[in-house]
Amino acid sequence: MGVVLNRLLQAIRFDRDAFVWMDFNDRATGDALIIVAITQVLFLFAGGTSLFGLVTGLFSVLSALLSTVMFWLIYSGLVYAVAVYLFRGSGHYAVYLRIAGFAFPTLLLTIATTRIFGAGLIGTLVGSLWFLLVVAYGTHYVSDLPLDRSIVAAVLGWAGWIVVSTILGGFSLF
C-alpha cells in the first residue's frame, strides 16, 4: 500500500513518474478503484455520516459508492473518447481509469470550497479544478496531446458527465 500512496502523492503533485507507472501497471486499476471508494467514504464522513451510520445505513452507503463508481467509469470513458476520437490522441481506456482514480482524492477540496463559495456551481467548480488539472496532465502524458487539448478533454469529460447524469435521472456526484 506504500507504493500506491506514494504514486497518489506523485499524481496530485503532477509528477510524470506516477503516470508512467499507471501506464505500465495493470494492477493500478484496482488500486484506483480502492482510492475512489475510500474517497467516497471520506465524503460520507464529511457529510455527517458516523461510523455507526456507515454500518446501519449500508444501503445508502452502497448507493453512494455505486454512484461514485459510475461517475468514475463514465467520466474516464468520456475523457478517453474526447482525447482519442475527437483530438486523435492515443492511449487505452484502462489508463484513463487509473488517472481519474488517482486524481479522485483531490475532489475532497470541494468540501472546503463549497463551504466558502456555497454548494452551487461555483463551489463545485473551484473544488474540482485540481481534479481536472491532474486528469489533464495525465491525459497529456498518455495521449501525446498538447496540454491545452488535454485540459479541454478533461473539461469536456466533466461537461459530458453532467449531461449523462442528467439524462440518467439525477445529478448525484457526492
Nearest to 107 by CA among 24, 46, 150, 20: 46
Q: For residue 109, count other CB atoms closer than 10 A to its CB.
A: 15
Which residue has 445508502 as its cell numbers? Answer: 60
Residues 6+ apart with CB under 8 A from 173: 67, 68, 71, 124, 165
pLDDT reported for residue 132: 96
CB-CB contact of 174 with 69 (8 Å): no
pLDDT reported for residue 170: 57
Nearest to 19 by CA among 132, 136, 131, 127: 136
pLDDT reported for residue 154: 97
Q: Is 14 exposed, middle or buried (0-12, 13-18, 19+ CB in 10 A)?
A: middle
pLDDT reported for residue 57: 75
Name the grid cell of 112: 472546503
Nearest to 96 by CA among 141, 126, 39, 130: 141
pLDDT reported for residue 119: 74
pLDDT reported for residue 117: 81
d(CA 78, CA 80): 5
Query: What pTM was estimated for this model as a whole?
Result: 0.89
**Mean pLDDT, each 10-residue run in order, the chain (174 residues):** 89 94 93 95 81 74 90 97 96 96 93 80 84 96 95 96 84 51
d(CA 83, CA 62): 31
CB-CB contact of 151 with 136 (8 Å): yes
Name the grid cell of 19: 503516470
pLDDT reported for residue 45: 83
